[in-house]
């Protein structure tokens, strides 16, 4: 049996993964998503096409790779149950965005722009939200008990995610200069007509 922590193999695999994705995004930005074949990506990364498919099930996954869904669900479950649904969900999304922008902003922005501009990627990205939406409803726990409550929770979750996506688009258009959590909070406030933490374009409150 392979032990729980194979070091060199996992390391190599992770490096190959990163290498392929980096070259893929670079080429997509340079020649366009549709103008770049998976073979091009494989060749640029110095691997075979099969290896690309082993690391990324589809060409679209070379750009998408959202994996902070569970994080959002955790925050939802940890939020106080008394507040209105939209506030619980929206709050979790705002906080998750904070940890999202901690990594490499250039890379994230490039991927985001591809997702927005390329129909195929945009569609898959929105569908990922669809999956995340179910996770959010499940994380609400007791809300998902009776069908009507689950329906209301689903409606609220889908609305919040859509609004977050709007903020993401705006953030990308702005080249990532704005504060993303703040943008999302503002968008949520605008859509749901609740007093948001800040008016449009302002800085986050000191506390």
Partner DNA sequence: CCCTAAGTGTTAGTAACTATCAGGATGGTA
Partner DNA sequence: TACCATCCTGATAGTTACTAACACTTAGGG
Rounded to the nearest 5 degrees, what angle is found at the Cα of 94, between the Cα atoms of 73 and 128? 50
Instruction: State the nearest-atom distance from the C-beta of 122 to a copy of itself, in Å.
Output: 6
To the nearest whole angstrom, how small is the minimum distance from the Cβ of residue 118 to DNA? 12
DSSP 3-state percent helix, strand, coil across the chain (nearest 5): 70, 0, 30
Instruction: Name residues contacting a copy of itself, limited to 80-139 (CB under 8 A).
Output: 84, 86, 119, 122-124, 126-127, 129-130
Phi, psi of 87 (to 5 degrees): -70, -40
How far apart are alpha carbons 104 and 111 in whole angstroms? 11
3-class DSSP assignment, residue 150: helix
Q: Is 99 in the site for DNA (CB under 7 A)?
A: no
Q: Which residues, 6 or more positions from 58, have their beta carbon under 8 angstroms from its beta carbon?
A: none
Task: Give min distance, CB of 144 to a copy of itself, in A.
Answer: 14
**Identity of the residue, 14 or 202, whose beta carbon is nearer to a copy of itself in the bound complex:** 202
**Among 22, 135, 170, 198, contact with a copy of itself (rule: CB under 8 A):** 170
Element holding 5 (H helix, E strand): none
Q: Interface with DNA includes 53 (CB under 7 A)?
A: yes
Measured from the CB atom, is 44 or 155 closer to a copy of itself?
155
Positions in 131-190 near DNA (CB under 7 A): none
Q: Which of 62, 53, 75 is nearest to 118 (CA)?
A: 62
Nearer to a copy of itself, 97 or 163 (CB): 163
| Residue 53 C-beta: closest distance to DNA, Å | 5
């Amino acid at each position: 049996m392979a032990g729980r922590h194979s070091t060199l193999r996992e390391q190599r695999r992770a490096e190959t993964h990163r290498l392929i994705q980096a070259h893929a995004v670079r080429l997509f930005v340079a020649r366009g998503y549709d103008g770049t074949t998976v073979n091009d990506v494989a060749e640029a990364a110095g691997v075979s096409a099969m290896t690309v498919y082993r690391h990324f099930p589809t060409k679209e996954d070379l750009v998408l790779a959202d994996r902070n869904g569970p994080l959002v669900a955790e925050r939802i479950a940890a939020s106080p149950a008394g507040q209105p649904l939209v506030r619980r969900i929206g709050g979790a999304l705002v906080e998750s965005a904070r940890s999202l922008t901690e990594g490499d902003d250039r890379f994230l922005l490039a991927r985001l722009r591809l997702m927005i501009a390329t129909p195929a990627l945009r569609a898959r990205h929105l569908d990922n939200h669809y999956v995340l939406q179910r996770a959010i409803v499940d994380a609400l726990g007791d809300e998902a008990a009776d069908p009507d409550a689950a329906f209301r929770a689903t409606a609220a979750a889908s609305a919040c995610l859509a609004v977050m996506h709007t903020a993401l688009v705006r953030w990308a258009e702005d080249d990532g200069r704005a504060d993303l959590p703040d943008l999302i909070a503002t968008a949520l406030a605008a859509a749901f007509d609740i007093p948001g933490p800040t008016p449009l374009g302002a800085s986050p409150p000191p506390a």
